[in-house]
């Protein structure tokens, strides 16, 4: 059975495939993943800017409130010690995001659609249940982040959260996806502040390099929880749903998939460079001065003092607010896409409530739930943020198994199914993440 793609490969794509056919498997895989980076010199740069979107937005959304809390806690508690994990997690995320974007372009269907068609309704409902649990938690964490940002400016969460939730709802329900996407992209620019902060903090770059190339694995329960949280916040389940659904929504076809692949790889690398610099910045400012715990937004804000001095709290508050707003829109959307796909209902941000009542209704319910929980008096905001990331990491292997099996299936992917080397790397990523999760549970039970 041939994949249901809407265009045949371009002559240029076929020619390049033939040129790499004589190379080794690893070289061919690397060539396919990073081919757009080499083409940048030959193709109009604006062509890439036009198609940037799903990959960049979904990867940047991973640096949300929970991500910032997790990376800041990692740097403050373990210094540069978790940087080696960021390298492995980045490779895993490139593979996973590329598989999902590829499936969207080849089949024209979202991930939940494919799971239902290939594995049946029961397995699709399991996947939806996993996603609902994880995504409901992360949606709550985004509004917790908004509440934490408001607290930095002396605004009570109960006063700040409701109008922000209403704004997010209005952006999605009243505008086209392209308009919403531009808003998300602009909000993601605040993350680059952390790169500046890291350099101004003057870290020991020798120690940074050593931490990257010489992993030090700590099997203490708390350290393993931090590792699983790092995995869960970087390879967040909703990112895979979002990138595949938006590739479909955007109408990406195989003839222009090369641009989407570039978007996907570029988005992951840029977002995770920022994540690494959050760890470096907090390690160079908090860890070296003995501040080994980040229990509040005010604690995390101290990492930005090299940039803003006394204005660090304001700068961090703005960044936390932008990060939370970015993901507060992306997360409920991804959840609404996945559930409606699995159940066969109409979906799409360009549809009205009358045209897609389940899709729009679920999106609205998630926003309301997140806002209500975030307004609970006395809620330990940063503890909730990090706890949700641990939950994400624990549930992640279930979704990854579906993704790898689908991307390997020649019945639906045809010649675009992932090859032997890609499969080995993809299954290796699943095994590594699963082992980390099992070690976390095992050490926590028997410690």
Comparing 121-130, 336-345, 378-387, 401-410, the range with the smallest average pLDDT is: 336-345
What does the alpha-carbon distance between residue 191 and residue 72 come to, in Å, rounded to a whole number?
13
What does the alpha-carbon distance between residue 389 and residue 374 come to, in Å, rounded to a whole number?
16
Instruction: Give the side-chain half-sphere CA count within 13 A for 293.
Output: 5
What's the rounded mean pLDDT across residues 232-244?
Answer: 84
403, 376, 395, 378: which is closest to 433 by C-alpha?
Answer: 395
More confident residue, 324 or 399: 399
Both tokens of 163, joined, read 């109008």
pLDDT tens sequence across 185-195: 666 666 677 78
Does the pLDDT at position 42 exceed 70? no
What does the alpha-carbon distance between residue 400 and residue 413 come to, in Å, rounded to a whole number?
17
Looking at the chain, how many residues does it have? Answer: 447
Both tokens of 69, joined, read 């809390």
pLDDT of residue 317: 83
Phi, psi of 265 (to 5 degrees): -65, -45
| Residues above pLDDT 90, as percent of the chain | 34
What does the alpha-carbon distance between residue 389 and residue 144 come to, in Å, rounded to a whole number?
13
Residue 62 binned pLDDT confidence (cut-offs 50, 70, 90): low
Residue 436 binned pLDDT confidence (cut-offs 50, 70, 90): very high
pLDDT tens sequence across 266-278: 888 888 998 999 9
Does the pLDDT at position 47 exceed 80? no
Residue in this structure with the two tokens 């509040």, named with its chain if needed:
296
Tell me the average pLDDT of the chain. Answer: 81
Does the pLDDT at position 25 exceed 90? no
Comparing 109-113, 162-166, 203-207, 303-307, the range with the smallest average pLDDT is: 303-307
pLDDT tens sequence across 141-193: 889 999 988 988 889 888 999 999 998 888 777 765 456 656 666 666 666 77
Write the DSSP assignment of 57-123 as a string of letters: HHHHHTSSHHHHHHHHHHHHHHTTTTHHHHHHHHHHHHHHHHHHHHHHHHHS--HHHHHHHHH-HHH
DSSP 284: H
CB atoms within 10 A of CB 176: 10
Does the pLDDT at position 399 exceed 60? yes
Domains and CATH numbers, the chain: 42-446 (1.20.1740.10)
CA-CA-CA-CA dihedral for 86, 92, 95, 96, to nearest 10: -110
pLDDT of residue 35: 52
What does the alpha-carbon distance between residue 262 and residue 239 come to, in Å, rounded to a whole number?
16
Question: Are the C-beta atoms of 30 and 238 separated by less than 8 Å?
Answer: no
What's the rounded mean pLDDT across residues 56-72?
Answer: 76
């Amino acid at each position: 059975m041939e994949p249901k793609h809407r265009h045949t490969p371009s002559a240029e794509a076929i020619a390049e495939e033939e040129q790499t056919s004589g190379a080794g498997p690893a070289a061919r895989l690397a060539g396919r993943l990073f081919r757009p980076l080499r083409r940048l010199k030959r193709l109009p740069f604006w062509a890439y800017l036009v198609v940037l979107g799903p990959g960049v937005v979904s990867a940047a959304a991973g640096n949300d409130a929970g991500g910032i809390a997790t990376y800041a806690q990692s740097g403050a508690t373990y210094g540069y010690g978790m940087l080696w994990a960021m390298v492995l997690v980045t490779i895993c995320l490139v593979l996973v995001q590329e598989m999902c974007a590829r499936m969207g372009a080849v089949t024209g269907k979202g991930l939940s659609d494919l799971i239902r068609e290939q594995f049946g309704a029961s397995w699709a409902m399991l996947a939806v249940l996993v996603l609902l649990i994880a995504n409901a938690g992360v949606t709550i964490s985004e509004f917790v982040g908004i509440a934490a940002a408001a607290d930095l400016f002396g605004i009570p969460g109960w006063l700040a959260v409701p109008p922000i939730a209403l704004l997010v709802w209005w952006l999605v329900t009243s505008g086209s996806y392209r308009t919403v996407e531009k808003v998300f992209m602009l909000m993601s620019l605040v993350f680059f502040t952390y790169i500046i902060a890291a350099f101004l903090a003057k870290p020991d770059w020798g120690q940074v390099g050593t931490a990257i190339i010489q992993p030090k694995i700590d099997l203490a329960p708390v350290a393993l929880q931090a590792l699983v949280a790092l995995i869960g916040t970087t390879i967040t389940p909703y990112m895979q749903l979002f990138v595949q659904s938006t590739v479909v929504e955007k109408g990406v076809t195989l003839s222009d998939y090369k641009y989407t692949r570039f978007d996907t790889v570029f988005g992951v690398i840029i977002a995770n460079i920022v994540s690494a610099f959050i760890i470096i910045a907090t390690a160079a400012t908090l860890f070296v001065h003995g501040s080994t715990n980040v229990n509040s937004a005010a604690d995390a804000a101290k990492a930005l003092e090299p940039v803003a001095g006394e204005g660090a709290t304001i700068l961090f508050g703005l960044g936390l607010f932008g990060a939370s707003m970015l993901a507060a829109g992306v997360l409920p959307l991804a959840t609404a896409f996945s559930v409606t796909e699995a159940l066969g209902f109409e979906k799409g941000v360009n549809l009205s409530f009358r045209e897609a009542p389940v899709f729009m209704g679920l999106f609205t319910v998630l926003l309301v739930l997140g806002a209500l929980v975030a307004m609970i008096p006395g809620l330990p905001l940063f503890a909730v943020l990090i706890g949700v990331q641990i939950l994400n990491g624990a549930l992640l292997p279930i979704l990854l198994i579906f993704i790898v099996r689908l991307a390997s299936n020649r019945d639906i992917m045809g010649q675009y199914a992932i090859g032997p080397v890609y499969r080995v790397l993809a299954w290796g990523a699943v095994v590594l993440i699963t082992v980390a999760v099992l070690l976390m549970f095992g050490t926590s039970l028997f410690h």
